[in-house]
Amino acid sequence: MAEETETETEADTQGAAETEAAPADGGAPAAHPGESLIGSERILNQEEIDSLLGFDLSDEEIAERTGIRAIINSALVSYERLPMLEIVFDRLVRYMTTSLRNFTSDNVEVSLDNISSIRFGDYLNSIPLPAILAVFRAEELDNYGLLTVDSNLIYSIVDVLLGGRRGTAAMRIEGRPYTTIERVLVQQMVQVVLTDARSAFEPLTPVTFTLDRLETNPRFAAIARPANAAILVKLRVDMEDRGGRIELLLPYATLEPIRKMLLQQFMGEKFGRDNIWESHLASELWTTSMDVRAVLDEQQVPLKQVLELKVGDTIMLNATPDSLVELRAGSIPLTRGRMGRRNSHIAVRVEAPLPPLARQAVQRSS
């Protein structure tokens, strides 16, 4: 009996062990004690993380940002909401092509690469050094802008203006600061560009661009807060086999005073007041007929007394032959005058000017 009980106990122990090892739902076996639970979850690789954050975009795809970076940059105002900017910068390209040809006595072609919105701090960090940064002031707009000339264009301009041979690339010497001659020549070119920018804005609004200073360190060219939005215009200057880039940056704070003008779909579009319609309305008002009443006296009489009036009754007026007559347009008093006779007509000679309050009332009623 003891042997049989011992055998049954061993069998029950083996069955319980098998039941414990088998999963309840008949699926895969349970994980080993040393295996981490996170091993069953999918972990993102570096490319997927960059795609989620939106930092793996190339220059061609920069306009179509996705992910978290698109949310961060969504606060930027797109330049496409200012249609007149494209017209202004197209005019600038045409002016610069002619001016730089006269300045360099060479065949110069200026092209507009693109117009984009960017944060000011991001732009300063993206400037390829060495470069010369020209800080200029927009006098009428009471703010600043930035003009960046890259090293390729600097050496090309110096080479052309100092008589370098055509057909040979400009020699670049890295690792040294720009000389006084190079800075002076670049400053003259910047003056030409700013003059052309003034002419480009002239049909829209008069703006005078004055060169403030030249900098080679972007830290010293801070004209706005790093988080502020700005318009970036990239221009390409080609002189046969030489050339480079000019980048024009205008903060939105600089363009804010003329924002309504930049919102126009075409040159001369009217917003708010229409001067042509105002002048037409004024000319029509001068030829409009108006009824004017001459009131000698007014009295308040009970309605019962008025209903009892008969032919032959006399109403006594509180006026004398020398009393002033009040001229009214509707219920608005205009002026006063004396009653008399001219030929066969009863006339009123105006004795007082039209008061300012009466003028405002007439304008409101009209």
pLDDT at 320: 79
CA atoms of 22 and 191, how far apart (whole Å): 85
Range with lowest mean pLDDT among 48-52, 58-62, 110-114, 246-250? 58-62
The partner residues of 238 in beta bridges, in order of sequence, read 109, 243
The answer to whether residues 327 and 202 belong to one domain is: no
Specify if 30 maps to a domain: no
Q: pLDDT digits over 324-336, tens only?
A: 888 888 888 888 8
pLDDT at 79: 54
pLDDT reading at 187 higher than 90: yes
Cis peptide before 302 (omega within 30 of 0): no
Region 259-271: mean pLDDT is: 67
Specify if 230 maps to a domain: yes
Specify if 228 maps to a domain: yes
The answer to whether residues 105 and 187 belong to one domain is: yes
pLDDT reading at 44 higher than 60: yes
Specify if 347 maps to a domain: yes
The total number of structural domains in the chain stands at 2
pLDDT reading at 268 higher than 60: no
Helices marked H in the chain: 2-21, 46-53, 67-72, 84-104, 120-126, 151-161, 180-201, 252-255, 259-262, 275-286, 303-307, 356-365
How would residue 16 be classed by pLDDT, with cut points 50, 70 and 90?
very low
The answer to whether residues 233 and 293 belong to one domain is: no
Residue written as token pair 């007041």: 273
pLDDT reading at 77 higher than 60: no
For the chain, the residue count is 366
pLDDT at 183: 92
pLDDT at 18: 47
The answer to whether residues 97 and 189 belong to one domain is: yes
**Exposed, middle or buried, 32 (CB in 10 Å: 0-12/13-18/19+)?**
exposed
pLDDT reading at 90 higher than 70: yes
CB 210 within 8 A of CB 89: no
The answer to whether residues 245 and 295 belong to one domain is: no
Specify if 116 maps to a domain: yes
Specify if 294 maps to a domain: yes
Residue 18 is encoded by which pair of tokens? Answer: 């098998």
pLDDT reading at 20 higher than 50: no
CA atoms of 94 and 112, how far apart (whole Å): 10
The answer to whether residues 294 and 217 belong to one domain is: no
pLDDT at 50: 67
Task: Residue 99: name the closest of 15, 213, 190, 220 by CA.
Answer: 190
Tell me the pTM: 0.55
The answer to whether residues 333 and 201 belong to one domain is: no
Q: What is the DSSP letter of 352?
A: S
Q: CA separation (Å) from 42 to 38, 48, 132?
A: 8, 12, 49
- Name the more confident of 266 and 320: 320
Neighbours of 350 (CB within 10 A): 13
pLDDT at 49: 74
CA atoms of 183 and 158, how far apart (whole Å): 9
The answer to whether residues 140 and 85 belong to one domain is: yes
- Name the more confident of 264 and 338: 338
Residue 53 is encoded by which pair of tokens? Answer: 């954050």
CA atoms of 96 and 233, how far apart (whole Å): 14
How would residue 169 be classed by pLDDT, with cut points 50, 70 and 90?
low
- Name the more confident of 49 and 226: 226
pLDDT at 352: 81
Region 177-194: mean pLDDT is: 92
In this structure, the strands spanning 143-150 and 242-251 are: antiparallel
The answer to whether residues 212 and 111 belong to one domain is: yes
The answer to whether residues 225 and 296 belong to one domain is: no
Structural domain containing residue 294: 289-300+322-353
pLDDT reading at 63 higher than 60: no
Q: pLDDT digits over 298-347, tens only?
A: 888 889 988 988 898 888 888 877 888 888 888 888 888 888 888 888 88
Q: pLDDT digits over 250-259, tens only?
A: 998 898 888 8
Specify if 153 maps to a domain: yes
Say what percent of the chain tops pLDDT 70. 71
How would residue 287 be classed by pLDDT, with cut points 50, 70 and 90?
confident
CA atoms of 36 and 240, how far apart (whole Å): 65
| Residue 212, amino acid | D
Looking at residue 151, which CATH number applies to its domain?
Answer: 3.40.1550.10
Residue 22 is encoded by which pair of tokens? Answer: 């088998």
The answer to whether residues 99 and 233 belong to one domain is: yes
3-state class (DSSP) for residue 170: coil
The answer to whether residues 254 and 295 belong to one domain is: no
How would residue 295 be classed by pLDDT, with cut points 50, 70 and 90?
confident
Specify if 277 maps to a domain: no
Residue 251 is encoded by which pair of tokens? Answer: 């903060």
- Name the more confident of 354 and 84: 84
pLDDT at 345: 86
Average pLDDT value over all residues in the chain: 77
Q: pLDDT digits over 203-232, tens only?
A: 888 899 999 999 988 889 888 898 888 999
Task: Residue 198: name the closest of 189, 190, 184, 208 by CA.
Answer: 208
pLDDT reading at 276 higher than 70: yes
3-state class (DSSP) for residue 337: strand
